[in-house]
Amino acid sequence: MSASEAEALNDAAAMLDAQRGVAQSGDAGLNPAASAAAGADRGRVAPQPDPKP
């Protein structure tokens, strides 16, 4: 999942939470699933090109 896809999903979840009146503690902008996904994405390392012989 790309960062923009994760952001779009987080925005949609935040909008649904706001419509339903769900209160969140901690970081008001991130739901728990989005926070976990963002943390996993931050730790990911881009693949390196194969060394040339």
* pLDDT score recorded for residue 16: 79
Calculate the average pLDDT of the chain: 76
Q: Residue length, the chain? A: 53
The tokens for 33 are 């699933």
Q: How large is the average pLDDT for residues 49-53? A: 81
The tokens for 37 are 């996904």
* pLDDT score recorded for residue 27: 53
Residue 28's identity, in one-letter code, is A
